């Protein structure tokens, strides 16, 4: 299994519409990617820490588990244009992507 991690770095002018992201973008992503082995999606919202009132390094982090790298690659190749085109609807942040093999 692999984990796709999508990180939205915090920055002073960051705009992020959580209602749109949770209500529209994530359902779109799931609908397009579940046929390609998407098993689950978890969304984390950054909170202050470790020092009080310190900004989180990331506004949000999406954790997406797929059954295989090949299936993810096929799905993303098929739907990347639509998924990426939706990003400006909820944020002005350029996401960072990490794909990892899950060891545990």
What residue ranges do the domains of the chain occupy? 9-63+70-101
Mean pLDDT of 56-85: 97
Give the pair of three-digit tokens for residue 27.
Answer: 């359902």
Share of the chain above pLDDT 90, in %: 92
| 9 touches 93 (CB < 8 A) | yes
The bridge status of strand 2-9 relative to strand 38-45 is unpaired
What does the pLDDT read at residue 50? 83
Give the pair of three-digit tokens for residue 52.
Answer: 């009080």
Which one, of 82, 90, 4, lies nearest residue 40 by Cα?
4
∠ CA(85), CA(25), CA(30), 5° rounding? Answer: 110
* Per-residue confidence band for 104, with pLDDT thresholds at 50, 70 and 90: confident
Mean pLDDT of 5-29: 97
Res. 49: pLDDT tops 90? no
What does the pLDDT read at residue 41? 98
Mean pLDDT of 90-104: 96
b/e per residue, 74-97, with b = 16+ CB within 10 A?
ebbeebeeebeeebeebbebebee
Mean pLDDT of 4-26: 97
Stronger pLDDT, 43 or 49, i.e. the higher one: 43
Q: Which CATH architecture has domain 9-63+70-101?
A: 2-Layer Sandwich (3.30)
């Amino acid at each position: 299994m692999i984990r796709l991690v999508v990180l939205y770095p915090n920055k002073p002018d960051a705009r992020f519409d959580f209602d749109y992201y949770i209500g529209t973008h994530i359902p779109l992503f799931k609908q397009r990617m579940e046929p390609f082995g998407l098993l689950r999606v978890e969304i984390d919202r950054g909170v202050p820490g470790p020092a009080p009132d310190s900004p989180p390094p990331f506004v949000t982090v999406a954790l997406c588990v797929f059954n295989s790298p090949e299936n993810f690659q096929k799905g993303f190749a098929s739907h990347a244009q639509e998924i990426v085109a939706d990003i400006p609807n909820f944020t002005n942040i350029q996401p960072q992507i990490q794909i990892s093999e899950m060891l545990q």
